Amino acid sequence: MSKTLIVLNAGSSSIKFVVFDVTDGKPTALATGQIEGLGASVTRFNAKDGEGQSLGEREFDKVSGAIATHENAVDLILNWIEETLPGTTVVAVGHRVVHGGVRITTPVLITEEIIAELETLIPLAPLHQPHNIAGIRAAHAAFPGVPMVAVFDTSFHRNHPFVNDTFAIPREYYNEGVRRYGFHGVSYEYVTRRMKQIAPLDAEGRVIIAHLGNGASMCAVRYGHSIASTMGFSALDGLPMGTRCGNLDAGVLLYLLDQKGMTSSEIRQLLYTKSGLLGLSGISQDMRELEASDTREAREAIDYFVFRVRREVGALAATLDGLDAVVFTGGIGENSWRVRERVLQSMQWIGIDLDEEANHRNARLISSPLSRVRVYVIRTNEGLMIAEHTLDLLGLGQAA
């Protein structure tokens, strides 16, 4: 009987999952998949094996029974695992949780007390935290007695210097938890670990990691530790994203409130779901579609995205007192040679010289031999990072 570990990443209308074989204490991916459209008239399920080959797709509508809740989705995932991977026993579940607040800085075993604390953090991440918690409760119902671990996107950033953590507002708010938390920490931690394997000298130096995707941010890493991030109090800050605005003058919010009469709920929807690449282009939040478009709006949306990434390279390099390496990761960072090329264009002043041929084929190292600063493309693997943390915390890993 083989042992498996499931990693769940629960969003508002989707659940992503990875199934790992952990029989020998080392996680090996057996399947990845997701359920999209929870609560919608049509729900879609798809899964692939560890090599990326399709294991099937299914579609549910109102007639066949659309998947309405996270509990329904987890039940579907469990049934699919039993049908597709017979003879396995689920020994643990790892959960990606966006916010751990000030107090929770490492992966934790999930208890009712931990869930209660996570619920107090909902005001800090209103569009993510409730769904993470819903996924946890659904998994508890589906896998009674199976230990579960929460791994947090904020943990990697919790040792920032004060000046990189605070806002220039009365200090009482900082003490209450209004500070720069940073996110995408699971991805940054994985990339940092991979850097130690493939480029150990650079990994111990001054590194900027650009996690560019539908959600986008950048992180300054020194000696393997985060010291600054473009994301701040919320996942809205910093770079423009698929549908999120990124950096925004707070006066704009006052204008929307006072002059446009918008409610906080309307503003939240505007900034989280109608802005970013989608809002600027009026076409799509998908960089691939924008790159394929010949419209001025699509071109200007990409221009702004690139401009902001270039600006943050300079800012984070200043934070690091120099630069030894840059890493691109995430869906755009890993796959769009055009975006990488434009970001790194004319960056010789900071020590970057791009190898265009290597960049076009998405090579791991895309800087030229003349480049003082090395530039890498590293595929992130948040699921594996969560699985390793889960095994380590439960004492189920190889080291145990």
CB neighbour list of residue 39: distance below 8 Å, 6 or more residues apart: 13, 66, 67, 68, 69
Contact indicator for 100, 154 with CB cutoff of 8 Å: yes
Q: What share of the chain is helix, strand, coil (3-state, %, to 5)?
A: 40, 20, 40
Question: How many Cα atoms within 13 Å fall on the side-chain side of residue 148?
Answer: 28
Instruction: Give the span between the Cα atoms of 102 and 114, in whole angstroms.
Output: 14
Print pLDDT tens along the chain (400 aa). 789 999 999 887 789 999 999 999 999 999 999 998 877 778 889 999 988 899 989 888 765 666 778 888 888 888 898 888 888 899 999 999 999 999 999 999 999 999 999 999 998 888 889 989 999 998 999 889 999 999 999 999 999 999 999 999 999 999 999 999 999 999 999 999 999 999 999 999 999 999 999 999 999 999 999 999 999 999 999 999 999 999 999 999 999 999 999 999 999 999 999 999 999 999 999 999 999 999 999 999 999 999 999 999 999 999 999 999 999 999 999 999 999 999 999 999 999 999 999 999 999 999 999 999 999 999 999 999 999 999 999 998 775 4
List the one residue out of 214, 209, 397 whose CA is nearest residue 313.
Answer: 209
- Start-end of H helices in the chain: 70-84, 112-120, 129-142, 171-176, 185-198, 200-203, 250-258, 264-273, 276-281, 287-292, 296-320, 330-335, 337-344, 356-360, 382-394
Report d(CA 234, CA 10) in Å as an integer: 18
Contact by Cβ (8 Å): 191, 327: yes
334 vs 210: CA distance, rounded Å = 10
* Contact yes or no for 284/277 (Cβ under 8 A): yes
**Choice among 21, 153, 202, 237 that is catalytic:** 153
Q: What is the pLDDT of residue 73?
A: 86
Q: Tell how strand 88-97 and strand 148-152 pair up.
A: parallel
Rounded CA-CA distance 360/341 in Å is: 9
Which domains, from first to last, does the chain contain?
2-152 (3.30.420.40), 200-377 (3.30.420.40)
Q: How far apart are CA 376 and CA 248, in angstroms?
A: 30
Neighbours of 389 (CB within 10 A): 23
C-alpha distances out from residue 186 to 98, 135, 159, 377, Å:
9, 18, 15, 17
Q: Return the exposure string of 91-120: e unless at least 16 CB atoms fall within 10 Å of the residue's CB, then b.
A: bbbbbbbbbbbbebeebbebeeebeeebee
At 364, is the secondary structure helix, strand, or coil?
Answer: coil
The predicted model scores a pTM of 0.94
pLDDT score of 66: 65
Phi-psi region of 214 (alpha: psi -120 to 50; beta: other; left: phi over 0): alpha
Structure tokens at 277: 């690449």
3-class secondary-structure state, position 142: helix
> Which SS3 state, helix, strand or coil, does residue 244 take?
coil
Q: What is the pLDDT of residue 38?
A: 79
What are the structure tokens assigned to 390, written together?
A: 């889960």
Which of 350, 354, 38, 101 is closest to 208 using CA atoms? 350
Q: What is the dihedral of CA 253, 257, 263, 269, to 10 degrees?
A: -30
Angle between helices 185-198 and 382-394 (to 10 degrees): 90
Question: How many residues are there in the chain?
Answer: 400
Q: Is 153 a catalytic residue?
A: yes
- Check residue 400 and give its pLDDT: 45
pLDDT at 274: 95
The dihedrals phi and psi of 367, each to the nearest 5 degrees, come to -90, 155
